[in-house]
Amino acid sequence: MAYGVRLKVWGDYACFTRPEMKVERVSYDVMTPSAARGILEAIHWKPAIRWVVDAIHVLEPIRFQSVRRNEVGSKALSGKIKSAMKRGDLGRLQLRVDEDRQQRASTVLVKPAYVIEANFMLTEKAGEDDNEGKHLDTFNRRAGRGQCFHQPCLGTREFAAHFELIAPDADLPASIDESRDLGFMLWDIDHHAKDRPSLFFRAALESGVLKVPRPNSPEIRR
């Protein structure tokens, strides 16, 4: 890869929620490409570039734990916000947690650690002064110093991700010696598609490495 980057990320917990199990969240076994993209974008992103994840190396055994928490059952309704704006009064604009409570369990990954291999391409929004070298330097400089736009996370924001750049000439840390079929996994979400935005691919762990298909390749299904 001409403009490849390699980033090691790890943390205490992770939850890459399976879309079919969103209420009582169950995590995928391995980080999804879209979560990996989010981590890269937390460090450096501009509309001029698009991150493409090539592979995800799993460095630690896949283990799960269950956590149950009190969560609120509803979102902030825009209609209510609007009417409060019109009235000029905040009355009744709040969420009462004790009346709108749901206890939900999450099945989360324990002590995950990954290496994300990725590269980026320029989008049509790239201007005159956007070139690959510049963005690559920016990313490497930031990741090398531990700088970020916001602290990246492993799936959800309460599970912060620590990250470390792996120098281009350094060896990759060893991945786990495990191969398994991970079934259909979320590849990413196409926010421009109206009706079926989620894209999936058939994921398989081969000696601890999850190969991710390129965008627009036939392996990706809607």
Question: From CA 54, how far away is CA 187, in angstroms rounded?
Answer: 11
Nearer to other proteins, 44 or 57 (CB): 44
According to the binding rule CB under 8 A, does residue 107 interact with other proteins? Answer: no
Map residues 55-94 to x or -, x wherever contact with other proteins holds by CB under 8 A: ----------xxxxxxxx--xxxxxxxxxxx-x-xxx-xx
Contact region for other proteins (CB under 8 A) — 145-153, 166-174, 175-183, 211-219? 145-153
Nearer to other proteins, 41 or 130 (CB): 41
- Written in H, E and C, the secondary structure of 10-60 is ECCEECCECCCCCCCCEECCCCCHHHHHHHHHHHCCCCCEEEEEEEEEECC
Question: From CA 118, how far away is CA 101, in angstroms rounded?
Answer: 40
Nearer to other proteins, 88 or 218 (CB): 88
According to the binding rule CB under 8 A, does residue 196 interact with other proteins? Answer: no
Q: Can you tell me which of 1, 21, 137, 149 binds other proteins, judged by CB under 8 A?
A: 149
Map residues 109-138 to x or -, x wherever contact with other proteins holds by CB under 8 A: -x----------------------------
Nearest by Cα to 4 from 113, 114, 121:
121
Question: From CA 195, how far away is CA 159, in angstroms rounded?
Answer: 30
What is the closest distance, in whole angstroms, from the C-beta atom of residue 26 to other proteins in the complex?
Answer: 15
Q: Are 67 and 108 in contact (CB under 8 A)?
A: yes
Give the Cα-Cα-Cα angle 142, 147, 151 (nearest 5 degrees): 130
Under the rule (CB under 8 A), what is the footprint of other proteins? 12-13, 65-72, 75-85, 87, 89-91, 93-98, 103, 105, 110, 142, 145-151, 153, 157-160, 162-164, 191
